[in-house]
Amino acid sequence: MTAGAAGLSAALYQLTEHAERIGGLDEREARHYQEIGGRLSDLGTRVAGIGGTQADQAEILAGLEGLDEAVATLTERLDSVLPPDDEAAPVYKPVPTPRWWVLEGVERDAAVARLRAWVQQVYRPSYGHISASLGRCWERHPLCLFTLDWLSELWSVLYLPATRSGGGLAGQAEWQTRLLPAAAEEMAIETSRCDHAKAEAPRSISGPAARRVS
């Protein structure tokens, strides 16, 4: 092989190596471009998502405009329905349900005292012959305790609010004309046929004393 031919062969070999290297470089660059393109696409998606979030936040904030005024209006309406808790305008406050079948000692005394106060301050002074049928021994009868508990609580619901609606008025009418008489009759039967009532009944009068009374 002549020197020229050898030089040409060497040059062709180097060109082949360079071509392979360029080819590999193109492949790496292509992969690199694809990787960068994927990252840019993902970044674009995230940016679009952030934009949507901002739009949602702007919509939410726009919906909150005037909320303070709506709350103030609602507060005024509630104040008219539920007046301040003072002596002039009392409101109903539910009490824990008394479990008469297990109450003992101080807890039972406190629960009975609450009913006694209602009977003395509201029931007997307000409901005439209906309340007069309640025996004096009612505190010894669980039936009366259960009955007076819900009677007093329902009375508080109906009569303590400062304002009255049509439904409240109908509730008052039903309480007094239907529920109260039925409950009073049950308690009257319970307290008139017990041993306490028999012990408190006046003894029959006979002999000279009977003649003086007549």
Specify whether 43 is located in the same domain as 94: no
Domain boundary among 16, 37, 65: 65
Specify whether 8 is located in the same domain as 105: no
The closest alpha carbon to 141, from 170, 113, 119, 112, belongs to 112
Residue 73 lies in a domain: no
Specify whether 33 is located in the same domain as 115: no
Domain boundary among 37, 65, 93: 65
Q: Tell me what pLDDT residue 209 has.
A: 33
Per 3-state DSSP, the chain is made up of helix, strand and coil in percentages (nearest 5) of 75, 0, 25
Specify whether 109 is located in the same domain as 187: yes
Q: Tell me what pLDDT residue 165 has.
A: 87
Q: Please state the domain count of the chain.
A: 2
Specify whether 108 is located in the same domain as 54: no
pLDDT at 151 over 50: yes
> Per-residue pLDDT tens for 195-214?
765 665 544 333 333 333 33
Domain boundary among 65, 98, 121: 65
* Chain mean position to CA 66: 26
Range with the lowest mean pLDDT among 69-83, 89-103, 119-133, 186-200?
A: 69-83
> Per-residue pLDDT tens for 22-48?
555 555 555 655 665 566 566 556 555
Cβ contact 191:138 at 8 Å: yes
> Per-residue pLDDT tens for 155-186?
999 998 888 888 889 999 999 999 999 999 99
- Residue 72's pLDDT band, with cuts at 50, 70 and 90, is low
Residue 10 lies in a domain: yes
Specify whether 148 is located in the same domain as 196: yes
Which domain does 29 fall in, by range?
A: 1-65
C-alpha torsion 120→126→130→134, nearest 10: 0
Residue 148 lies in a domain: yes
Q: Tell me what pLDDT residue 119 has.
A: 96
Average pLDDT of the residues in 87-92: 60
- Rounded to whole angstroms, the Cα distance separating 31 from 27 reads 6
Q: Tell me what pLDDT residue 89 has.
A: 53
- Rounded to whole angstroms, the Cα distance separating 117 from 194 reads 23
Specify whether 109 is located in the same domain as 180: yes
Task: Identify the residue with better confidence: 151 or 201.
Answer: 151
Can you tell me which residue has the tokens 């046929």?
193
